[in-house]
């Protein structure tokens, strides 16, 4: 058995493609020397708000040992704030977290019926829907027509309307969209009643 002779790993051919800026993100805001406007409106704590030339605004920020941050570049003239930039970023992240925490996530729960679903099973699924609506979720109920059962569209419609009417009459839900056919499904959407 002969050993193969050693050969170094092949190297990649060199190309003239520009390097991609990996790992570095573009700055969120222009600060200090990166602000290009000639005149800016300066705001901040302990500063008289007004329109200054960019050199005057930088001098004000340097005198206070803070950064000049462009917070509204599309305004005329652009608005800059004299603030510690790291503290400014921290406060913005904190605000974003609070907004995410207070944002309401609408969850949609699904309940499936067949066109020949029994009355007892409908009552059972109404109990599930009541629980979901009580938790604040929306309920998407649908009748799935399998094979030849598509000829029983009226049964599916009646079934969904009975289901929805029971929940609406009890004051648990409100009808958001009436039954509509989508392919092999007939779908109805119910939302919780806000108290």
The tens-digit pLDDT sequence of the chain (195 residues) is 567 666 666 666 555 554 545 555 556 778 888 888 889 999 988 888 889 899 998 998 888 888 899 988 888 889 999 998 888 889 989 998 888 877 666 788 889 988 888 888 888 899 989 998 888 888 899 888 888 878 878 888 888 888 889 988 888 888 888 888 888 888 899 888 876
From the list 83, 87, 55, 54, the residue with the least C-alpha distance to 68 is 83
Tell me the domains of the chain and their CATH numbers.
32-91 (3.10.20.80), 108-192 (3.30.110.10)
Q: What's the pLDDT score for residue 194?
A: 76
Enter the tokens of residue 128.
Answer: 């599930």
In whole angstroms, what is the distance from residue 143 CA to residue 164 CA? Answer: 13
pLDDT of residue 41: 92
DSSP category for residue 2: P
pTM of the model: 0.47
d(CA 96, CA 28): 14
- What pLDDT sits at residue 2? 67
């Amino acid at each position: 058995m002969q050993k193969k002779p050693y050969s170094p790993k092949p190297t990649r051919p060199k190309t003239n493609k520009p390097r991609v800026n990996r790992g570095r993100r573009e700055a969120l805001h222009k600060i200090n020397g990166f602000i290009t406007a000639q005149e800016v409106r300066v705001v901040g704590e302990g500063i008289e708000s007004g329109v200054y030339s960019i050199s005057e605004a930088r001098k004000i920020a340097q005198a206070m040992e803070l950064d000049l941050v462009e917070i509204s570049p599309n305004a005329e003239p652009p608005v800059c704030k004299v603030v510690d930039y790291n503290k400014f970023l921290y406060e913005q992240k904190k605000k974003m977290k609070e907004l995410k925490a207070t944002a309401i996530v609408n969850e949609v729960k699904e309940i499936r019926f067949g066109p020949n679903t029994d009355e007892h099973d409908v009552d059972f699924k109404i109990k599930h829907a009541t629980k979901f609506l009580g938790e604040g979720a929306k309920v998407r109920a649908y009748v799935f027509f399998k094979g030849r059962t598509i000829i029983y569209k009226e049964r599916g419609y009646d079934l969904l309307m009975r289901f929805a009417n029971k929940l609406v009459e009890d004051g648990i839900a409100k009808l958001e969209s009436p039954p509509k056919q989508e392919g092999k499904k007939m779908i109805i959407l119910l939302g919780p009643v806000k108290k």
